[in-house]
Amino acid sequence: MLSLRTITRSIPRTFSRSIATSALRPAFPKPALQSWKQATKPAYAAFSTSTISKAPSSDFDVELLAKLEDELKHEESSDVPEFNEQQEIISEIVKHGEWQVKDVPGEQEVVLTKKFGPESIRVSFTVADIQNISEQEDFDDAALNDDMDFQNQPRDQNNEFEQPEPSFPARVNVIVEKPSHGALLIQTVVQDGVFQIEEVSHFAQAELALAQTAEKDWARQSLYAGPPFENLDEDLQGLWDRYLEDRGLNAEFANMIPDYISVKEQKEYLRWLETVKNFIGA
């Protein structure tokens, strides 16, 4: 899994941007992992009786448990002020936009909903987008482009160049439903504060836009989904962008989504460490 922790290690510079153009990206640095051959096997006394109810099954379990414990402590103590600030920014944007959030611990998908006149708007994205980044070249290319544009960047008061921070793409589905008129499904990719619309589809039956069952997903695939968005007239494309902005899906909201994914991924990683540690130590 290439998570935020791996991504932040691969990017040599971190930057802060104003909330109007970007939210802060959380970085959770940690030292590179040593190989198991280099690790020193701890004694059983390294763990308190409150942590482990009985001895692990093997010496390797002891070593694995020690590493999980060390990783959990490191993650819990890394960049706590920045992590808290990031959550505050996200909460403020959600509150300002009057969004209702469904974020279930242990689940990957996050759903934001709101009312806009007679419309019901549903925005969904998943933490899997940060886990499924498998090609480091994407970030290497971004860093290379930064270096190529280095001379064109403004300098700060310390005569240092200010460069934008690379952003990972996040797939976001927007469903706009009207009573008795079905629903629109707007499939987008969010990156660098922009909703890049890929497809706009209308369904007479609103439940097909959500397609939470295999049957409805099959029924949806048999329907005409609309033309590729890039084939539309440029003026029409621009009007669709304004359609989203009018409903609160603006640059600030777009910047929040990768940040929300990063924060949730960190929470889920901590949860995973805790549950796996408890299982190994049981």
- Beta-ladder partners of 55: none
Helix, strand, or coil here: 276?
helix
Whether residue 31 is contained in a domain is answered as no
Q: In the structure, what pLDDT confidence band is assigned to residue 166 with cuts at 50, 70 and 90?
A: low
The tokens for 20 are 């109007």
Whether residue 59 is contained in a domain is answered as no
pLDDT digit string, tens, across residues 167-206: 789 999 999 999 999 999 999 999 999 999 999 999 999 9
Whether residue 121 is contained in a domain is answered as yes
Whichever domain contains 128, its CATH number is 3.10.280.10
Asked whether the predicted pLDDT for residue 104 surpasses 60, the reply is yes
Q: What is the pTM of this model?
A: 0.70
Whether residue 54 is contained in a domain is answered as no
For residue 145, give its domain range: 4-16+78-149+164-281
pLDDT value of residue 229: 95
| Residue 281 CB contacts under 8 Å (≥ 6 apart), including other chains | 47, 51, 52, 53, 56, 65
Q: In the structure, what pLDDT confidence band is assigned to residue 48 with cuts at 50, 70 and 90?
A: very low
pLDDT value of residue 147: 52
Q: In the structure, what pLDDT confidence band is assigned to residue 42 with cuts at 50, 70 and 90?
A: very low
How many structural domains compose the chain?
1
pLDDT value of residue 184: 97
Q: How far apart are CA 262 and CA 268, in angstroms?
A: 10
What is the 8-class DSSP label of residue 247? Answer: T
Name the percent of the chain lying above pLDDT 90: 50
| Residue 44 CB contacts under 8 Å (≥ 6 apart), including other chains | 55, 62
- Beta-ladder partners of 101: 112
What is the 8-class DSSP label of residue 165? Answer: P
Whether residue 200 is contained in a domain is answered as yes
The 8 Å CB, 24+ separation contacts for 272-276 are 273/68, 273/71, 273/72, 273/75, 274/72, 276/68
Whether residue 45 is contained in a domain is answered as no
Residue 200 CB burial class (10 angstroms; 0-12, 13-18, ≥19): buried
Residue 42 CB burial class (10 angstroms; 0-12, 13-18, ≥19): middle
Whether residue 41 is contained in a domain is answered as no
pLDDT digit string, tens, across residues 117-158: 999 999 999 998 886 654 444 544 544 555 555 455 555 555
Q: How far apart are CA 282 and CA 279, in angstroms?
A: 5
pLDDT digit string, tens, across residues 49-103: 444 445 556 788 899 999 999 999 988 887 677 778 889 999 999 999 999 999 9
Whether residue 134 is contained in a domain is answered as yes
